[in-house]
Structure formats: structure tokens, C-alpha cells
């Protein structure tokens, strides 16, 4: 046993030491160079400019652009891990190349030794910023290294703002926040041909506004500004909502249009602006690029998931349920300025049923409990408070959501179809079934709990006013308030859904690849239709099977988040119901019915420990004996 401990200690020590040595050394032995080639870690097809001793001086000296240069060593382990994020960063801001260039120098290439020595590169990677007009009389400014492409962008933007404070960086748009108090002031510095202003209202300290200004700097038909939410005199002219808020203002009429992006990323904000200006007949050319390999890999992963999902009929996906919850609470509830009275009662019922029945893990249950307590503790709730809590919950470190904010079973043939409305139907079908799917002693005394939550939500929060009114009219006509059992609640919602499908069949809103039919179809449930009539008993069985918690599929989900708190992890599952623990306690990659879900990511710590123990045992046998 002593031999094994000694072996493990030296293995870890030597591995760490070698990684440090390889990143700190200035030279590479000739015996390694034959494996590296001349290109180093970057290729000419990347958006990273490759600099050498032959072109470095001409590129960076007296340039009208700034240069951000990575000095690296091809065989440094950390440099190799760093390179993908540097490529992604360069692709992301490739539209800024007329302002700043992302570049790299391979110090392990023999001809670059002198260059790296002259700039006193003592560790790898080192990032240097050379401002426009650099005269070569200093070593440039050393920037902090980030771990992701987003980190690199933030460090660059902070440096640009610092440059402008020091009266440099004149080629960049002025990245200071707009401090004017009226809408006309937005156009004070704009040429007469500029007809629109883009304004982002954001929290203090956010770099989204400066980033958006840099991305849009070539769009000469508009002016882009950002301001902080504490600029109350200006912000009072605009609709409120969860920050950040994006607006387009018409110069001639001062008319304000709020722009809703799919997410608060540069890429999605610019896509939303592009769609808006396309409707105005304005060509909008800005794009946020991502690395080609990242695009291919992500598209393949998404396509694979969608292909599998479409072959899994009669299925509810965790990804769809979580995407609905995100949008519902963050965007729709979060956009309400003040929630009081009947609207607050509706929110309380909605949160009550979510807290009890939504298929979350321990941290998700805690979030819903916190939201429910917030709604119960006051006669006035600010939507922004709900939205803020949801924003915090969406951080990966919160371990609340097990899936990304994407659609799977509810994805349409294009972005305008299905998605949120489809997901909302699935959510409430799921809730009605799971309210009923409780043993009688513990069953809700109100069989209409889920239906009333749905009715209140759609009446007060659902963004489509016409749809909301249709549902309210249907609820009155179909006597929702007369439902007397939890099974009847399931069937009431099924009949209501089919009525809506019938009304919208052939409508412009119908996805041509997913026509609205009376469900379940004969193919889905042959026994549900007898002599052209519905057999409600069979329909009820079918709905309970499809929307049961044990039928939720975790395709594309990190199931560790779902059963977080088991196996001795730091988050306890105490306080969860037996059903919650059942949802959490599945084996990795296994659904609740025991079938394997090979796209789930669920390897537990103890599985890894078993593997590592075997690994070290094998080393011990080979090298000691």
C-alpha cells in the first residue's frame, strides 16, 4: 500500500511540474519541432492573424488599428487548451477587424525567438495589446488571460474603454454610456441620413452595451447607444421589463419599438435587430461570427437531437418543459412592472402548482419555493424581482436547469412556429396529469388546481392578447369552474386543446410540417377511437401515460442536475417528496422506466472513482511488480 501511495504522489507531482515547465520555458528542443510544423496552433483559415518576426513590426507599428496578440508556445499544454477559445474569440469579433486585429506569435518557432525575447515574453501564453499608432518604443500592454471567448472579449472591451479615457482609441465608437435625458438627444451627434437609434437599457457595469456598439459600428443607417437603468429621466420614456431592454427609436416620429431577442447574447440580439430592420426595408449586414468548427459541431449536435426527438413519438422532453418555465417566469411574468390583486393571486396559484409538480431537482425545487414565498409574502410583487431571480438561476453554477434554453419536441420547421405555445400546452397537460397521479390520501382537495393556474396565467401573463381572450371565452363556455375531479380536469384540457387545434387548422400560424390535428391520432392510440367516437376512458389512460412524470425524457439534459443531492453530494435532497427523489435517483443515462437514454450525461462521482482506482492499480502492478 505504501508503494501505491508513493506512486500516486509522484505521478500527480510530476504531471503538474511538467505542465508548469512546458508553459514557462522559452525554448523548445529541436527533436520536438518536426512534430509541430510551421503553422503552430493556428491555421491561415482561422480568424487569428499569424504574425512572425518577418511581419510583426510592419503590422503593429504606426497602424491605424489596434492589435491584440497572443505570444504562445506550440508544445505548452496550457497554450493548447487556450487556443480553441482564442479562435472562437477571433471569429466572434471578426467584424471588428477594421478597428482591432486578433493575432498570435508562435515563440516555439526558431525564427521567432528573437521577437519573443525582445518583448520579454517570460511565460505562455502572454497577451499583449498594441494601441493604434504604436511606435515600437515599449513592450505593449499586458492583458489578463481569460478562460473563454467571452472572457477575452470582456478584457478587450475594458481595455478599449481605458484607452478612450487616456485619449486614445479614436477609431472605435465612443463607448461611454449615453447620459442624455430625452429621446431627441439620442440623435444629437448623428448625421441627417440616420433615421433610427438602437438603445440598450442595462444594469450598471454590464459590457453588453459597449459590445453591441462595436458589433454595429458599420451600420451607418443607425446610431447605437446604451444607458444605465439609473438614468431614470430617460428610461421613464420606455416600457419597463427585465434588464437588459432593447429599443429602436424612429428619428422622425420618436416612436419607440421594443425588440425581443431569443436570448441576451450578442448573436441573438443582432438577429432580432436584423429581422426588425428587414421589415423596414433596411439592409442589415452585421453578423456575430463563431468559429466554423463550433458552428458545425453545434449544428450536428442539434440536428442529431432533433432527429432522435422526432422519432420518439408520444414523448415529453425535459428540455421543452425547462424552456417553457424560463420564458414564462423570466420574460412574461418578469415583464410585469407591478403584480397586485387578481393578477398576484393568479401568480400565486401558478407558482404553487409548479412548486409541487414541476420535474426539477433539489436546486430547482428550492428556486420555485423561493419564488412562491416571494409571491405570498407581499401584496405587491415587482416583475423585475422575479426576472432577476430567474437570471441568477440560469447561471451554470446555480445547477437549477439541466438543459440549455432550446426546443426539442416543440421545435418547429422555422423559428416562427411552435416553440413556446407548444411548450405551454405540454406543461399544463403534464401538470393536470401529475396533480391527478397522486395517491388519494395525498391528492389535492381542489381538482381544478392546474386548470385554474393555467386560466389565471393565460389571462394575466400570456403575451398573445387575442389567444388569451379566446382561451378565457372557451373556459367560460366549457364551464371550467364545473370540473369536479382530477381525471375530468385532464379530459377538459384535452378537449379544449383539440378545439383550439380545430380552430387554427389551416391558419397562417400553423407549421406546414406539423399540421394541427385532433389528437391522439388513430396511429398514436388506435384504441382511443371506436366507431368514429372518442373512448374517453382510453383517452384518459393514454394521456396519463404520455404526460406522467415517468415518461419525461432527458434527451440533451445533464441528469446530474436532476438528481443533485444524492450519493453524498453537498446538496441534500432532504425535503423532497418521494416522487422527487424518484425523479432524481435514476441511474445515469437511464429513464424512469428503466430504458437507457444514451444522450444523457449522468456519470456519477463514484463511477469515476472506481475507474481511477482501477487505473492506479494497473499502474502499480505494471511498474512495481
Q: Could you read off the pLDDT of 147-192 as tens digits, one per residue?
A: 899 999 999 999 999 999 999 999 999 999 999 999 999 999 899 8
pLDDT, one tens digit per residue, over 30-57 is 333 333 334 589 998 899 999 999 999 9
Residue 613 has pLDDT above 60, yes or no: no
Burial of 238 (0-12, 13-18, 19+ CB in 10 A): middle
pLDDT value at position 443? 66
- Hey, which residues does 224 pair with through a beta bridge? 198
Q: What's CA 158's distance to the chain center, in Å?
A: 23
pLDDT value at position 524? 85
CA pair distance 437, 357, nearest whole angstrom:
10
- Hey, which residues does 128 pair with through a beta bridge? 69, 142
Name the CATH topology of 30-165: Glutaredoxin (3.40.30)
Neighbours of 501 (CB within 10 A): 16
User: What is the architecture of the domain spanning 301-549?
Assistant: Up-down Bundle (1.20)
Residue 431 has pLDDT above 90, yes or no: yes
- pLDDT band for position 91 (cuts 50, 70, 90): very high
pLDDT, one tens digit per residue, over 207-220 is 999 999 999 999 98
Consecutive H or E run containing 530: strand 529-530
- In this predicted model, which residue has the larger pLDDT, 599 or 503? 503
Residue 227 has pLDDT above 80, yes or no: yes
pLDDT value at position 605? 34
Consecutive H or E run containing 129: strand 126-130
Cell of 64: 491605424
Query: Mean pLDDT, to the nearest integer, of 311-323?
Result: 82
Consecutive H or E run containing 383: helix 383-393
- In this predicted model, which residue has the larger pLDDT, 40 or 440? 40
- pLDDT band for position 441 (cuts 50, 70, 90): low
In terms of Cα–Cα distance, which of 211, 206, 207, 208 is closest to 100? 211
Residue 604 has pLDDT above 50, yes or no: no
- pLDDT band for position 625 (cuts 50, 70, 90): very low
Query: Mean pLDDT, to the nearest integer, of 439-463?
Result: 82
- pLDDT band for position 442 (cuts 50, 70, 90): low
Burial 83-115 (b: 16+ CB within 10 A, else e): bebbbbbbbbbbbbeebbbbbbbbbbbeebeeb
- pLDDT band for position 290 (cuts 50, 70, 90): low
- Give, as one character, the DSSP assignment of residue 171: T
Query: How large is the C-alpha radius of gyration of the chain?
Result: 29
- pLDDT band for position 311 (cuts 50, 70, 90): low
Residue 372: HSE in the Cβ half-sphere, 13 Å Cα cutoff? 14
Cell of 103: 493575432
- Give, as one character, the DSSP assignment of residue 244: S
Greatest mean pLDDT range, 33-47, 252-266, 577-591: 252-266
In terms of Cα–Cα distance, which of 430, 241, 244 is closest to 322? 430
- pLDDT band for position 20 (cuts 50, 70, 90): very low
pLDDT value at position 327? 87
Query: The pTM is what?
Result: 0.51
Query: Mean pLDDT, to the nearest integer, of 517-528?
Result: 86
Peptide bond into 480 cis (omega under 30): no
**Termini Cα distance of the chain:** 13
Residue 5 has pLDDT above 50, yes or no: no
Please list the residue range(s) of the chain that carry CATH number 3.40.30.10: 30-165, 184-279
Query: Mean pLDDT, to the nearest integer, of 383-399?
Result: 85
pLDDT value at position 317? 87
pLDDT value at position 565? 54
Asked whether the beta carbons of 457 and 443 are under 8 A apart, the reply is no
Burial 202-237 (b: 16+ CB within 10 A, else e): beeebbbbbbbbbbbbebeebbbbbbbbebeebbee
pLDDT, one tens digit per residue, over 112-137 is 988 998 998 888 999 999 999 999 88
- Give, as one character, the DSSP assignment of residue 177: P
Residue 283 has pLDDT above 70, yes or no: yes
Cα–Cα separations (whole angstroms), residue 425 to 228, 416, 501, 554, 592: 37, 17, 11, 19, 23
33's CB contacts (< 8 A; 6+ apart) are 108, 110
Query: Mean pLDDT, to the nearest integer, of 388-417?
Result: 83
532's CB contacts (< 8 A; 6+ apart) are none
- Give, as one character, the DSSP assignment of residue 105: E
pLDDT value at position 125? 93
Q: Characterize the bridge pairing of strands 126-130 and 141-143.
A: antiparallel
Cα–Cα separations (whole angstroms), residue 54 to 67, 81, 103: 16, 27, 14
Superfamily of chain region 184-279 = Glutaredoxin (3.40.30.10)
- pLDDT band for position 592 (cuts 50, 70, 90): very low
Cα–Cα separations (whole angstroms), residue 610 to 543, 605, 616: 42, 9, 10
Helices (H), ranges, 252-291: 266-279
- pLDDT band for position 384 (cuts 50, 70, 90): confident
CA pair distance 286, 284, nearest whole angstrom:
6
pLDDT value at position 76? 82
- Hey, which residues does 69 pair with through a beta bridge? 103, 128
pLDDT, one tens digit per residue, over 55-71 is 999 999 999 999 999 99
Cα angle 544, 548, 554 (rounded to 5 degrees) comes to 145
- In this predicted model, which residue has the larger pLDDT, 313 or 152? 152
Sheet arrangement for strand 222-228: 222-228, 196-202, 245-250, 256-259
Residue 12 has pLDDT above 60, yes or no: no
- pLDDT band for position 584 (cuts 50, 70, 90): very low
- Give, as one character, the DSSP assignment of residue 411: B
Amino acid at each position: 500500500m505504501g508503494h501505491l501511495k508513493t506512486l500516486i504522489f509522484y505521478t500527480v507531482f510530476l504531471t503538474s511540474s511538467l505542465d508548469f515547465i512546458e508553459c514557462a520555458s522559452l525554448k523548445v528542443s529541436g527533436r520536438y519541432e518536426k512534430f509541430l510544423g510551421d503553422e503552430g496552433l493556428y491555421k491561415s483559415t482561422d480568424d487569428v492573424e499569424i504574425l512572425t518576426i518577418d511581419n510583426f513590426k510592419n503590422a503593429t507599428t504606426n497602424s491605424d488599428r489596434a492589435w491584440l496578440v497572443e505570444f504562445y508556445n506550440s508544445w505548452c499544454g496550457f497554450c493548447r487548451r487556450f487556443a480553441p477559445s482564442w479562435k472562437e474569440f477571433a471569429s466572434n469579433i471578426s467584424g471588428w477587424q477594421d478597428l482591432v486585429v486578433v493575432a498570435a506569435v508562435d515563440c516555439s518557432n526558431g525564427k521567432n525567438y528573437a521577437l519573443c525575447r525582445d518583448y520579454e515574453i517570460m511565460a505562455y501564453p502572454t497577451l499583449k495589446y498594441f494601441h493604434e499608432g504604436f511606435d515600437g518604443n515599449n513592450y505593449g500592454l499586458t492583458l489578463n488571460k481569460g478562460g473563454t471567448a467571452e472572457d477575452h472579449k470582456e478584457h478587450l472591451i475594458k481595455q478599449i474603454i481605458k484607452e478612450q479615457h487616456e485619449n486614445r482609441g479614436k477609431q472605435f465608437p465612443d463607448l461611454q454610456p449615453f447620459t442624455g435625458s430625452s429621446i431627441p438627444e439620442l440623435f444629437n451627434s448623428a448625421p441627417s441620413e440616420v433615421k433610427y437609434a438602437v438603445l440598450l437599457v442595462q444594469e450598471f457595469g454590464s459590457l453588453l452595451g459597449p459590445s453591441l456598439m462595436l458589433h454595429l459600428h458599420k451600420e451607418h443607417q443607425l446610431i447605437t447607444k446604451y444607458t444605465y437603468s439609473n438614468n431614470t429621466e430617460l428610461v421613464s420614456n420606455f416600457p419597463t421589463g427585465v434588464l437588459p431592454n432593447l429599443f429602436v427609436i424612429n428619428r422622425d416620429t420618436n416612436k419607440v419599438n421594443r425588440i425581443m431577442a431569443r436570448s441576451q447574447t450578442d448573436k441573438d440580439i443582432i438577429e432580432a435587430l436584423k429581422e426588425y430592420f428587414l421589415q423596414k426595408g433596411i439592409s442589415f449586414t452585421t453578423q456575430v461570427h463563431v468559429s466554423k468548427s463550433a458552428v458545425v459541431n453545434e449544428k450536428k449536435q442539434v440536428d442529431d437531437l432533433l432527429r432522435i426527438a422526432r422519432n420518439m413519438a408520444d414523448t415529453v422532453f425535459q428540455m421543452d418543459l425547462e424552456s417553457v418555465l424560463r420564458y414564462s417566469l423570466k420574460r412574461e411574468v418578469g415583464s410585469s412592472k407591478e403584480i397586485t390583486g387578481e393578477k398576484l393571486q393568479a401568480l400565486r396559484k401558478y407558482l404553487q402548482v409548479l412548486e409541487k409538480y414541476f420535474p426539477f431537482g433539489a436546486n430547482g425545487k428550492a428556486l420555485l419555493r423561493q419564488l412562491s414565498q416571494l409571491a405570498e409574502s407581499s401584496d405587491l410583487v415587482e416583475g423585475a424581482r422575479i426576472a432577476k431571480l430567474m437570471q441568477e438561476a440560469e447561471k451554470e453554477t446555480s445547477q437549477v436547469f439541466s438543459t440549455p434554453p432550446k426546443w426539442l419536441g416543440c421545435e418547429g420547421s422555422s423559428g416562427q412556429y411552435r416553440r413556446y405555445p407548444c411548450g405551454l400546452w405540454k406543461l399544463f397537460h403534464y401538470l393536470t396529469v401529475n396533480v391527478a397521479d397522486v395517491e388519494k390520501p395525498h391528492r389535492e382537495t381542489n381538482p381544478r388546481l392546474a386548470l385554474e393556474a393555467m386560466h389565471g396565467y393565460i389571462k394575466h401573463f400570456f403575451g398573445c392578447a387575442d389567444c388569451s381572450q379566446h382561451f378565457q371565452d372557451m373556459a367560460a363556455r366549457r364551464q371550467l369552474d364545473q370540473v369536479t375531479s382530477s381525471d375530468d380536469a385532464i379530459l377538459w384540457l384535452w378537449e379544449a386543446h383539440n378545439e383550439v387545434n380545430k380552430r387554427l387548422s389551416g391558419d397562417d400560424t400553423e407549421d406546414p410540417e406539423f399540421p394541427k390535428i385532433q389528437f391522439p391520432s388513430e396511429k398514436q392510440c388506435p384504441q382511443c377511437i371506436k366507431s368514429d367516437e372518442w373512448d374517453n376512458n382510453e383517452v384518459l389512460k393514454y394521456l396519463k401515460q404520455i404526460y406522467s412524470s415517468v415518461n419525461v425524457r432527458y434527451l440533451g439534459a445533464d441528469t446530474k442536475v436532476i438528481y443533485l443531492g444524492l450519493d453524498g453530494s453537498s446538496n441534500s435532497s432532504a425535503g423532497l417528496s418521494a416522487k422527487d427523489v424518484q425523479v432524481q435517483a435514476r441511474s445515469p443515462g437511464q429513464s424512469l422506466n428503466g430504458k437507457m437514454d444514451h444522450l444523457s450525461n449522468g456519470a456519477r462521482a463514484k463511477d469515476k472513482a472506481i475507474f481511477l482506482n482501477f487505473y492506479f492499480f494497473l499502474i502499480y502492478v505494471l511498474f512495481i511488480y
